[in-house]
Amino acid sequence: MSKRIGEPYDPTLRESEHGRSIYNMWRKVRRGTHCDEWENFPTFYTWAMQSGFTIGMWLRKIDKNAPYNPSNCVLYAVGECEARVHPSWANEWNK
């Protein structure tokens, strides 16, 4: 069976504890403008894990006009992200 471009080289990577969440995040990144480095899932997976990924985190671009790439993206916990986007919600998350 041939591999599709950009698919994980090791299917067990995608099925790992964090792999499914990171894989879904990566698929969304690939729909937009992104760097060549993130064309392959294993590279994106490594970046996410080295950046402290945990289940439930979101990916955000620092500069919304720049492409997705390691130097332009950060991971946020859901509550932290919402508090930054909607400061008035911060109190709700901290209760």
Could you tell me how far CA 26 lies from the centroid of its own chain? Answer: 6
Specify the higher pLDDT residue, 10 or 21.
21
Query: Using an 8 Å Cβ cutoff, are 44 and 29 in contact?
Result: yes
Which pLDDT does position 19 carry in this prediction?
85
Higher pLDDT, 34 or 77: 34
**Global pTM exceeds 0.75:** no
Q: Which one is predicted more confidently, 33 or 8?
A: 33
pLDDT over 70 at 35, yes or no: yes
Nearest to 8 by CA among 74, 17, 20, 51: 20
Helix (H, G, I), strand (E, B) or coil at 20: helix
Q: What is the mean pLDDT of the chain?
A: 78
**Residue pair 27/6 in contact by the 8 Å Cβ criterion:** no
